[in-house]
Amino acid sequence: MRLALGITYRGTAYHGWQSQPDGCTVQDHLEKALTQFAVAPIHTVCAGRTDTGVHGLNQVVHFDTDRGRDPFSWVRGTNRYLPGDIAVQWCVPVADDFHARNLARGRRYAYIVVESPVKPSIDRGSVGWTFRPLDGEAMRRAAAHLIGEHDFSAFRSADCQALSPVKLMREITIERHGAYWRFDFEAVAFLHHMIRNLMGCLIAVGTGTRPSDWVAEVLASRSRERAAPTFAPDGLYFLGPRYDAHHGLPTRTAGFDWLPGGSSR
């Protein structure tokens, strides 16, 4: 049978999601734990890969198994073998043709930035940081240029393996919660480093280094050299994919309420 899992993880200690020879990735640890619990090799397919240092609040994977165990047994049993910063949150049986990546209708990310004259400490690794004040309205005007279907080459990593730089950005919201700013992005799919490169530009606008319309110029240029430097991965969270409702998969985990503004999104 085919099962889908929802995974949360703190990405600070890992070299991203995708399995690597050094074994220091979230996928490596998850598959090792699943294999130990199932007493059989397990290979997973994820909804969206994340980079080094990026966190996950509802990463979705699927895998096939002939082990007949209750869904919650997969949750508790697998978590027994996982490190403390990775956890299976839910397990749902799915149709044999379900595919975590190919059937995703969209993907959601949030970036959390703390605006403070001094560097983060207790939330170090969990937030981005700016010591300069941010102008929310200027950033929202800049973000409006990014909505719709565009060639996002100017915000694409040189290592990106996507077949096309054209992506559909559905929504960008920017909210302030005390000292913390929350940036939410939803698109059908994203390029490698796309959000971190967008964040670099939005922060440049927010701090007054660049005007709002500059983002439109960068987008139109299709040149990575015209954009701001890539922002840190620390405050980036993969909120998970969106699927058609008939698959019956949870869209939230408890970690959503931990983020600023989480209970209202």
Active site residue ranges = 51
Dist CA 168 CA 177 (whole Å): 28
Cβ atoms of 47 and 58 within 8 Å: the answer is: no
Using alpha carbons only, give the angle 27, 101, 126 rounded to the nearest 5 degrees.
50
Among 185, 191, 198, 186, smallest CA distance to 163 is for 191
Q: Give the list of residues 6+ apart from residue 258 with CB closer than 8 angstroms, or none.
A: none
CB 56 within 8 A of CB 9: yes
Which residues on neighbouring strands pair with residue 149, listed in sequence order?
A: 168
